[in-house]
Amino acid sequence: MEQFPNKLKEFFTFSGNSYVFDREITYLSEKANIIIVISHKIEIYIIFKDYVYLDNTILNSKIVHRFIKKYPILASSYELISPMKLEFKNSNVVWDYLSFTYDAKQAAITLLITTLN
């Protein structure tokens, strides 16, 4: 792994072969935890804290609605993989991977963004 910038080391913890950042944030008007893992790729997890109970699919969640409203260019770029998983694909997505996943056991939605380092 290439050298990690010294000015960022105070924000990240070295764990295994990865640098990890874990903080509370507000995103899309919701409280969440952001976890950034930097190794051979960069993974950004935004785990929303409010309990969510889906009526039908993840597409009906207010978090996904707010995301699409905030980034309208992605409105035609998603594919519903299952009622609990939504992936964004095509040239409008600048990341290698972007998805929303619903965890029924935790009643939580996670946004995952990845890119090669």
List all residues 6 or more positions away from 12 whose beta carbon is below 8 Å from its beta carbon. 4, 19, 20, 21, 36, 38
Which has more pLDDT, 26 or 13?
26
pLDDT at 4: 56
Parse the chain into domains and list their residue ranges. 6-116
Per-residue model confidence as pLDDT tens digits over 54-74: 889 999 999 999 999 999 989
pLDDT at 21: 86
Stretch 78-99: mean pLDDT: 89
List all residues 6 or more positions away from 86 whose beta carbon is below 8 Å from its beta carbon. 57, 58, 59, 64, 78, 79, 80, 99, 100, 101
Per-residue model confidence as pLDDT tens digits over 21-31: 888 999 999 99
pLDDT higher than 90, residue 112: yes
